[in-house]
Structure 1
Amino acid sequence: MLEAMGSIRRAAGLFAMVCSVALPMAGQSPVRIEVNLAKSVGTYKPIYSWFGYDESNYTTMPHGKELLRELHDLSAVPVYIRAHHLLTSGNGVAELKWSSSNVFSLDAQGKPVYDFTITDQTFDAWKKAGVKPMVEFGFMPKDLAATVKGADTYQVHYPGDVLAGSANNPPKDYAMWGELVRRYTEHLVQRYGRAETSTWYWEVWNEPDIKYWHGTAEEYWKLYDFTVSNVRKALPGAKVGGPASTGPGGEHAITFLDNFLEHVANDKSAADGGRIPLDFISFHPKGSPKIVDGRVTMGISSELKTTENGFKVVAKYPQFAKLPIILSEADPEGCAACSSKVNPANNYRNGTLYPAYTAAAYKALFELQDVSKVNLLAMVSWSFEFEDKDYFEGFRSLATNGIDKPVLNVFRMFGMMAGDRVSTTSTGSVPLDVMVKTGVRESADVDAMATKSAHEATVLLWNYHDADTTAAAATATSVEVRGVPAGKVLVEHFRIDETHSNAYTVWKAMGSPQHPTEEQIARLKETGQLQMLGSPVWVQSEGGVVKLETEMPRQSVSLLRLSW
């Protein structure tokens, strides 16, 4: 049997229990990874199970409803959804970077009129899919928007300056805004129940430090005060927070977050004169991909540096240092609706570079949390789907026309991990401080993250480089897992690479059809799922150690699952 398994490994490049590492490919240094299941480095929190999108009206569209169910199914814990435009005026028809609910208007006498029809459709679809909302209060209803010079048009259509419209204005009446928030929250509590809505998160606005907010910082503090006060009137136990600001990268964004926390810590509420509630802190770290020497080159250092900055700001405040932090947009860059037709650097979104980046950033976010001694609760992947667009057009999305993209499978891998994070070392890793400072620009980051639960361990592996170079030779990688109970261990190997869990390469091999046949669609749906690299195998734990080997191609991700 061992000889047969060895033949399979040599023929197909699969892993098996071995005593030594196979010879590497020419010019490639082998990588040795050690996992110590007995050494916990912290709890594995499901920070991955959060997703978001601009176009809230996509929630009720056919592929949107289909994808929501897939997101629910990838995780054993609740999946949360954050969406823009829950309060925006309009007809409920989505456009790129735009949606609406028309929940609020004023009648001829200037009295508020509330209409929850479109809102109910959105929240009902979330409930039916089994996901939970992170309710983002935004944007300003047309009849409630204050007059701001240069922002007299309510909606500016993409690709125009979509942030220029008065949907991003402050309210002309903060008390009326507060009553809208109270009525909106009260309606959701009545429809979905106090017990359920108490598990949701309620966030005030989006990126008020840039053009999403046409007021001053102090006017945002006032908006925050009126919002959280009125949420709590309808739902006293609601988990409220903000400020959902950008970065923080430059000094402006760092100062905005700092001043917001100063406001909450030291000021009285503009709404009621009391203490200002804050149950979580949110901000938005982003990367910065570019075309360098003719190829896409990611900017993982930007996402990690801004995360580090934000953690440092929070850690300054002893009263807030242990509050949950929600990175309510955490992505390789900042425009999900900008396709690769608009920006060629965004073509990373279709293939294996996106999941490899996400895997490397995932571990780094945990490590930055540990260093700063803060409480990271979530990283919201601002990615969903874009209805009725071209196949693989290069939007930042998890699926295209119902076909899952490779990046969705890395989240499925994250969902298979549980228990405690345990110690890993790799001779091929890029140190955290280097990754934060300069990214992965020299040697590739061939590294691992591992978890252990009662009868199972998982080891996430990746070979990531900022530059989109998939032609580099695979790296021979040995994995030694220590602390495994004696006896037989079942090992399963899941893989994302050019030929596994990758509908994009299959679609290109079909000739990149924009009108695929039913047979082609069925094939693409099948290949878009998470796939295994060979069959499960039983190996022997000897002296508490299991030794495995594999080859990791550039921009690939693996998950080894060991169960006993």
Structure 2
Amino acid sequence: MRITVAEQPVGRLSDAWRLAVGTGRFDLALRRDYQDSLALVQREIGFRYIRGHGLLSDGVGVHRPYDHQGQRHVRHAFGYLDQVVDAYLELGIRPFVELGFMPSGLASGDQTVFWWRGNVTPPRSHTEWADLVRATIGHLVDRYGLHEVRGWPIEVWNEPDLKEFWQNADADAYHRLYEVTAHAVKDVDADLQVGGPALSPGADDGWLPRFAEFVTDRSVPVDFVSRHAYTSGPAQHVPFGVHQTLAPPQRLLEQFASPRRLLAGSALADLPVHITEFNSSYRPDNPIHDTAFHAAYLAPVLAGGGDLVDSFAYWTFSDVFEEVGIPTALFHGGFGLLTHRQIRKPTFHLYAFMNRLGPQILARGADHLVTRDGTGRIAVLAWASVDVTGGEPLDGHTVRLSLPVAGSAARTAFLLRSSVSEESGNAWRAWSELGRPLSPTARQLDVLRQAAEPGRRHSSLPVVGGRVELDLHLARHEVTLAEVSPVTDETPPWWDERRLLGGEPS
């Protein structure tokens, strides 16, 4: 069936999909490969904010206790913090500040998480913690300006509902930490944005309402609500990796919608909602992240997530990431849109395609999104369905559209189509065919970069009655971007292609 797309917009495309992106721990941003990767992502996608763990962990070196003349003192040192934030701002991205984890010199215990040992215990002194928060946020204000930092969301901790991330998953202890932190942030400036509680997807439905009740009863500042979303099942471990079942992608959208459902009728009901982490698998070593399947799986989420939340941050932009240790292979199932050495994954191209969409929505469906920009260019994002049970999807699916073309005088339109699938724009498949080299040579890296390029084709389409007919046949796990622009024909009257080789016109 052909879908006739109306000429008038039916809505505007939210930019919630690009508002934020995730990253490995904060001090990884000091590395060249990290900064090269972020520069590429910013050129081709352009995220607004970046969020990661560990800003207050020992690797950044902000909290530096010392003894002098028999008394304990604390120096707050911001050298690494400044280098990272300076680099972010130079690349056109701002911090989505996560306050955590606990510096070892302030921690009440020795429980840690991840290979790099982020401490997840409460502070042994809430007064000293508040001093640390005020000093850190105050330094950012002094260095970058109050107007700038007022635009940076400040999130308190990460997934306190999980015992791995917050000792004993103690809600009362987290509420105390949040209260102290929020007031310390507001001590710097009342208009700074502070929020939480950054819940995991597995948080029971009581966690968020209890948080809302606590902050309301005690008049604790809260400017936004945050949680995370993943759809994978328990990990089936293999050496240096895992495999997991996946719920259908609609489950991600259901998780996006849950904060507003749970907060309906509360004092927090109308606050912005930020999904500060989302992905399919919650593991940084699941090869599903590297595949064409993954791009097709997430396409309907990117197309529809902005209807439900104010932002949803893909976790993460790059495979420069070490939560379970240093990766042992170029493709290792990392979260990133890019591998090390900036090889684009299919999901990177999904985001780059989203960046090419126009702001006006003309039509949307279960497998497509049609937009238009101010020049009259129509951009269609279309995707093949996926089968999370592992079955083989049927080939031959086609999206048939009748599109309005701006400019009634145009007799033709130019079609540029870019695609990723099992066969195109799929460096992971090429890497597999190369024998999965653990440390590719320079030549193999060149091959992989070429294989990562989307498949591209172009053609001329006739405009009949101000419309073009567009048939998008989708291969297995294909995501395609079709851009249609009206043509102003400036061919000179003497042009005759039959004369290319010196022949005479007939």
SS at match of 2:226: strand
Please report how far the alpha carbon of residue 532 of structure 1 lies from its aligned counterpart in structure 2 after TM superposition. 4.3
Which amino acid in the other structure matches residue 533 of structure 1?
R
Say whether the 8 Å CA contact 2:16–2:306 is kept in structure 1: no
Q: TM-score with structure 1 length normalisation?
A: 0.76
Query: Contact 2:229–2:279 (CA<8 Å) still a contact in 1?
Result: yes
Give yes or no for the alignment of 1:312 onto 2:261: yes
C-alpha contact 1:49 1:75 (8 A) present in aligned 2 = no
AA paired with 1:153?
D
What letter is aligned with 2:26? S
Does the aligned pair in 2 maintain the 1:459–1:560 contact within 8 Å?
Answer: yes
Of 212, 228, 236, the match for 1:284: 228
Instruction: Find the partner of 1:238 among 165, 169, 192.
Output: 192
Distance 1:209 1:456 in 2: 46
Seq. identity, % = 26
- Give the aligned partner of residue 393 of structure 1: 332
**1:82 aligns to 2:66 (yes or no):** no
Question: Helix, strand or coil for the counterpart of 1:329?
Answer: strand
Cα distance in 2 for partners of 1:296, 1:465 equals 16
Q: Equivalences for 1:78-477 in 2 at 5 Å?
A: 78-89=47-58, 100-108=59-67, 109-146=71-108, 152-155=109-112, 158=115, 167-211=119-163, 212-214=165-167, 216-247=170-201, 249=202, 253-268=204-219, 276-289=220-233, 297-300=245-248, 301-317=250-266, 319-336=267-284, 339=285, 346-367=286-307, 369=308, 376-383=309-316, 384-386=318-320, 389=327, 390-402=329-341, 403-425=343-365, 429=366, 447-454=367-374, 455-467=376-388, 472-477=393-398
Whichever residue aligns with residue 110 of structure 2, its letter is T
The answer on 1:560 being equivalent to 2:498 is no
Q: Secondary structure at the match of 1:323?
A: coil
Report the counterpart of residue 239 of structure 2 in structure 1. Answer: none
8 Å CA contact 1:478–1:547 kept in 2: the answer is no
Q: What per-residue deviation string (whole Å, max 9, x for no partner) do you get for residues 429-451 of structure 1?
A: 4xxxxxxxxxxxxxxxxx11222
Q: Secondary structure at the match of 1:111?
A: strand
Q: Cα–Cα, structure 1 residues 348 and 121, in superposed 2: closer, same or farther, change >3 Å?
A: same
Give 3-state SS (helix, strand or coil) of 1:551's partner.
strand
Deviation at 1:61, TM superposition (A): 1.5
Post-superposition CA distance 1:49-94 (Å, at most 9, x none): 4211342222122221111112211235x531101010012xxxxx
SS at match of 1:349: helix
8 Å CA contact 2:12–2:359 kept in 1: the answer is no
Alignment of 1:498-537 (within 5 A): 498-529=422-453, 531-535=454-458, 537=459
CA distances 1:132-157 after superposition (whole Å, capped 9, x unpaired): 110100011112122xxxxx435466
CA pair 296-449 structure 1, distance change in 2 beyond 3 A: farther
1:193 alignment partner AA? G
- Code of the residue aligned with 2:52 in structure 1: it is A
Amino acid at match of 1:213: W
2:36 and 2:402 map into 1 onto residues whose CA distance is 38
The 2-side partners of 1:541 and 1:321 are apart by 48
Structure-2 change in CA distance of 1:267 and 1:32 (3 Å) = farther
Any idea what SS the aligned residue of 1:57 has? helix
SS state of the match for residue 383, structure 2?
strand
1:462-487 per-residue CA deviation (whole Å, 9 max, x = no partner) reads 11213375964532414314443232
For 1:475-514, what aligned pairs fall within 5 Å after superposition? 475-485=396-406, 486=408, 487=410, 488-514=412-438
Contact 1:418–1:452 (Cα < 8 Å) also in 2:
yes
Which residue number in structure 2 is paired with residue 24 of structure 1?
none
- 8 Å contact kept, 2:62–2:76: yes
> Which amino acid letter does the alignment assign opposite residue 279 of structure 1?
D
- Deviations, residues 515-548 of structure 1 (Å, cap 9, x unaligned): 323222223223324x24313x332333343211
Amino acid at match of 1:515: S
Match of residue 56 from structure 1:
26
* Length, aligned pairs only: 464
Is residue 417–residue 458 contact of structure 1 (8 Å, CA) maintained in 2? yes
Quick one: structure 1 residues 234 and 54, their matched pair in 2 at CA, closer, same or farther if it must change by over 3 Å?
Answer: same
CA contact (8 A) 1:492 1:532 kept: no
Q: Give, in angstroms, the shift of residue 42 of structure 1.
A: 4.3
Distance 1:170 1:504, change over 3 A: same
Q: Deviations over 1:105-161 (max 9, x none)?
A: 322222222121222232222223221110100011112122xxxxx43546649xx
Per-residue Cα deviation, 1:189-221 (whole angstroms, up to 9, x for no partner): 222233322222111111111121226323322
Aligned alpha-carbon RMSD (Å): 2.7
Mapped contact 2:387–2:393 kept (Cα < 8 A): no
CA gap of 1:34–1:45, structure 2 versus 1, over 3 A, is farther
Quote the residue 1:66 is aligned against: 36
Name the CA shift for 1:186/1:523 in 2 (closer, same or farther; >3 Å): same
Which residue does 1:438 correspond to in 2?
A: none
1:182 aligned partner, one-letter code: R
User: For structure 2, which runs of at least 5 residues remain unmatched after alignment?
Assistant: 237-242, 487-506
> Partners in 2 of 1:291 and 1:102 — Cα distance?
34
In structure 2, distance between residues paired with 1:315 and 1:37: 36
Deviation at 1:280, TM superposition (A): 1.7
The answer for the alignment partner of 2:502 in structure 1 is: none
Per the TM alignment, residue 296 of structure 1 is displaced from its structure 2 partner at its CA by 6.4
Instruction: Look up the equivalent residue of 1:393 and give its one-letter code.
Output: H
- Residue 503 of structure 2 corresponds to none
